Amino acid sequence: MNQTHRLRIALAQINPIVGDFRYNSDKILEYIQRAEKAGAQLILFPELALCGYPPEDLLLRPAFIAESQRYLLMLSSRVQEIIAVVGFANGRGGVYNAAAVLRRGRIIGIHHKIWLPNYGVFDEKRYFQSGTRPLLIKVNDIRIGINVCEDIWVPNGVAEYQAIVGNASLICNISASPYHANRRREREEMLTSRARNCGAHVAYVNMVGGQDELVFDGGSFVYSPEGELLARGPLFEEHLLVADIDLQANHRTEKQIYFHHEYQLEEADAGDLRSPAGSPMPPKIQPAPEELSEIYAALVLGTRDYVQKNGFRKVVIGLSGGIDSSLTAAIAVSALGKENVIGVLMPSRFTSRASLEDAERLAHNLGIRTYTLSIEAIVQQYEKELAPVFEGRERDITEENLQARARGNILMALSNKFDWLVLTTGNKSETSVGYCTLYGDMAGGFAVLKDVLKTKVYQLAEFVNREREIIPQRVLEKPPSAELRPDQKDEDSLPPYAILDRILAEYVERDRSINDIIAMGFDEPTVKEVARLVDRNEYKRRQAPPGIRITPKAFGRDWRMPITNHFTNMVRE
């Protein structure tokens, strides 16, 4: 009968800062100490935890790679009895996305990531070479497979090879997997399948934190060989997940699998480990949040990290009394605290009394400081100076945009004077079709709702009000309006958002053709007009501030359309 070894494993879902090697290495050492106090024998850190993820073109700088290697050597000298698996950028023989195994003051082995994702937000083939030799580490008489992120996503790939050919009883995957809604379920389904195919325990650690547009949600896992969830970490917060697992030596599986590649496995001896003292730790499975709670938490974390990691303390928001600025302000307060959020009311002759009252009530409910700065005199002066040039022409969108740009100038002036970061309030529906003003409401440093469709904005506002009224009820009930001309409503220029958002989800997020969307039952002229607006407003989106990604396809890293573009997304009959 095979002997069973109890292993106490720690999964450190930490929030590193790209390029801050000292901060990241101190964080790694802190979590190693915490794991040792918990009696853990093996600790996993996320993908590229030492340098932060994604470092993008910093990887092209030799000095950056040199620092990564220097700090790894420093870390290895500080690791003693615990086995630590740390993600870093390795520059030896090329640049690799690597996982180093550290113990007893030395680097025991290194795994180079084999499958490099090059889709969506990923550009890894731009920076890294592919590894060729999956790593196994030998502990007592058991083997543990080490791999990185995409290595485990590919079926019949690295993980199965390590388990079935390499006889690994445990597969350890270190990841930096970006968040989008329902991503956790996709990971759970994949890991359940992978554990069963491997016939081995699977431990998966994921990074947490915001990095520019991306949010990493943590939610680390441990699975049994039967695909049973044994432990799960929380989402959107740093956490040390500790779990006991029973590993069987000389593990075998009868599964017959066709592998994509035959690999030459590399094995490193990590030395012996004693079983942890005391009774086994009970499993900890953090509850999974509902979708709206999950999205709201992602927006809060992405906002907090963008503001704080870029050296800001306070943010400023133009409060219109509308749904978008109200939700943005609520998220900012959740992220930064009410003392670090400033609201600015900027009424014009077209601003309704109700909108001013709603903005004031929102600010009161949130407890934030506000300023009221009228744009009327500024706009009138603009119009006076332009009158000789505009003589003989009717008022149109030009005068509406002057108002938006006056507001943008005020917010940027406050930003310059007081070092407040301007949070823009536009949502994905508006930016998709260009229902926004360049250098006006698009002016700012960060777009919190950039990837949130208008219908989802309303759902999130209801979520904010789930315990008490924060966003005034009238804001949720009144028709949305930019209030740049008398009695203006968004639906004067756009289809109802319930229809618009469904078309946008198909055209933008799922890449459906115009004909395909029409075939779903949508009105043909409406679909064609929405597609036309999306296509012709790429130049605006290219100049928009970064914002938080919460869908599988967001404007920014996911979306790289040419501005000069004559292609019509119609299937020819």
Instruction: Kindly name the residue from 27, 113, 314, 450 that is annotated as catalytic.
Output: 113
- Structure tokens of 486? 């008398």
Contact 509, 536 (CB under 8 A): no
The domain at 4-271 falls in which architecture?
4-Layer Sandwich (3.60)
Condensed to tens digits (0 to 9), the pLDDT of residues 255-274 reads: 567 777 788 898 998 888 87
Spatial CA neighbour of 520 closest among 499, 535, 537, 544: 499
Q: What's the confidence (pLDDT) of residue 494?
A: 83
Count of positions (residues) in the chain: 573
Q: Please tell me the distance from the alpha carbon of residue 88 to that of residue 100, in angstroms, as a whole number.
A: 7
In this structure, which amino acid lies at residue 306? Y
Instruction: Kindly name the residue from 27, 47, 188, 314 that is annotated as catalytic.
Output: 47
- Structure tokens of 341? 């959020």
Q: Please tell me the distance from the alpha carbon of residue 487 to that of residue 190, in angstroms, as a whole number.
A: 52
Contact 431, 538 (CB under 8 A): no
- Scanning the structure block, which residue is given the tokens 């700065």? 373
357 annotated active-site:
no
423 strand-pairing partners: 446
Secondary element (H or E) of residue 428: helix 428-433
Q: No. of H helices and E strands in the chain? A: 18, 20
Please return the burial class of 511, using the count of CB atoms within 10 Å of its CB with bins 0-12, 13-18 and 19+.
Answer: exposed
CATH of 298-542, one of 1.25.60.10, 1.10.3470.10, 3.30.930.10, 3.40.50.620: 3.40.50.620
Condensed to tens digits (0 to 9), the pLDDT of residues 443-481 reads: 999 999 999 999 999 999 999 999 999 999 999 988 877
- How many of the other CB atoms lie within 10 Å of CB of 409? 15
Spatial CA neighbour of 299 closest among 452, 89, 152, 417: 452
pLDDT < 50 positions in the chain = 1, 250-251, 573
Instruction: Kindly name the residue from 149, 172, 198, 436 that is annotated as catalytic.
Output: 149
338 annotated active-site:
no
Pairing of strands 421-424, 446-447: parallel
Question: Do 298-542 and 4-271 fall under one CATH topology?
Answer: no
Distance from the Cα of residue 539 to its chain's centroid: 24
- Report cis status (omega within 30 of 0) of the bond before 54: yes
Contact 178, 188 (CB under 8 A): no
- Structure tokens of 225? 């060989």
**Helix, strand, or coil (residue 458):** helix
* Strands of 201-206's sheet in order across: 229-232, 221-223, 201-206, 170-175, 142-148, 135-139, 266-271
User: What ranges do the domains of the chain cover?
Assistant: 4-271, 298-542
Q: Please tell me the distance from the alpha carbon of residue 178 to that of residue 187, in angstroms, as a whole number.
A: 11
- Which residues fall within 8 angstroms of residue 541, CB to CB, at 6 or more apart? 431, 555, 559
- Which residues fall within 8 angstroms of residue 198, CB to CB, at 6 or more apart? 159, 160, 162, 163, 164, 168, 171, 225, 253
107 strand-pairing partners: 102
Distance from the Cα of residue 315 to its chain's centroid: 20
- How many of the other CB atoms lie within 10 Å of CB of 565? 10
Q: What's the confidence (pLDDT) of residue 250?
A: 44
DSSP letters of 291-358?
HHHHHHHHHHHHHHHHHHHTT---EEEE--SSHHHHHHHHHHHHHH-GGGEEEEE---TT--HHHHHH
- Structure tokens of 297? 């938490």
- Structure tokens of 206? 């994921």
- Which residues fall within 8 angstroms of residue 313, CB to CB, at 6 or more apart? 307, 340, 419
Q: What angle do CA 65, 68, 71 make, to 5 degrees?
A: 150
Spatial CA neighbour of 415 closest among 446, 384, 382: 446
**511 φ/ψ sector (left φ>0, alpha ψ -120 to 50, else beta):** left
47 annotated active-site:
yes
